[in-house]
């Protein structure tokens, strides 16, 4: 797929049949970075582990799915029974770190707001710190009422329970077969939009406006001044 939207994608059934080395080869082939032992070992773990726990599931699986607005990639996306699972693995981690929780939640919120095929779906972000002793698996929608579950925290032993629990509550007949080819439409903030419009144009260049030139110029000065301040 153009722009390497993902490094590997397949039905879960075919993923289970594919050779582990071939899957790893796909991931290595599409990675734009030099492969480190840490990344290789993480992929090897994820492939083997997911093959064990997805034996009774059907749907789609994608590795390293691009989140262009953030310039990052989701470790694994699972599309099962109309539910989008966003999985972030921290292989060997013994703690749930705040930045890791925020990372997986950012991915989920970005998909909900900017990824067209995700807008009608329940999205379940999951942080898997593989070596932690405890876990938190309460299913709660965020207070934004946007069908995004607050991040679930689990270790390697409990991910199957997290998947089954979420599916028992949120499974649907929503068709996600075109999800990987969905349009991605990031929307700039009001400040970014206004700044982009006016930074390189004078007020006189804006030929259609309901505001007077003087009022518009005052507004522009405030907006661009704030934008420059927040950009540092």
pLDDT digits (tens, 9 = 90+) for 100-143: 999 999 999 999 999 999 999 999 999 999 999 877 667 888 77
Structure tokens at 174: 């929503």
Sign (positive or negative) of CA dihedral 199, 202, 205, 210: positive
221-231 pLDDT, tens per residue?
665 565 454 45
| pTM beyond 0.75, yes or no | yes
Question: With contact defined as beta carbons under 8 Å apart, do 106 and 69 qualify?
Answer: no
Structure tokens at 124: 């379940």
Pairing of strands 8-11, 60-67: antiparallel
The residue extents of the domains of the chain are 2-181, 190-231
């Amino acid at each position: 797929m153009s722009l390497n939207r993902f490094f590997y994608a397949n039905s879960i059934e075919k993923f289970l049949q594919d050779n582990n080395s071939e899957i790893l080869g796909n991931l290595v082939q599409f990675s734009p970075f030099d492969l480190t032992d840490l990344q290789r070992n993480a992929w090897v773990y994820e492939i083997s582990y997911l093959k064990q726990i997805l034996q009774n599931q059907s749907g789609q699986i994608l590795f390293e799915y691009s989140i262009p607005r953030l310039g990052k990639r989701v470790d694994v996306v699972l599309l099962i029974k109309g539910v989008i699972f966003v999985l972030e693995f921290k292989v060997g981690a013994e703690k749930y770190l705040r930045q890791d929780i925020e990372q997986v939640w950012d991915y989920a919120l970005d998909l909900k707001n900017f990824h067209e095929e995700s807008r009608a779906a329940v999205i379940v972000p999951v942080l898997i710190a593989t070596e932690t002793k405890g876990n938190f698996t309460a299913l709660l929608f965020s207070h934004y009422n946007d069908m995004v579950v607050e991040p679930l925290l689990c270790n390697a032993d409990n991910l199957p329970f997290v998947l089954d629990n979420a599916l028992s509550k949120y499974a649907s007949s929503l068709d996600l077969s075109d999800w990987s080819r969905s349009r991605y439409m990031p929307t700039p903030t009001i400040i970014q939009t206004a700044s982009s419009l006016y930074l390189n144009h004078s007020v006189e260049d804006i030929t259609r406006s309901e505001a007077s030139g003087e009022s518009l110029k005052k507004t522009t000065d405030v907006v661009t001044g704030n934008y420059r301040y927040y950009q540092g």
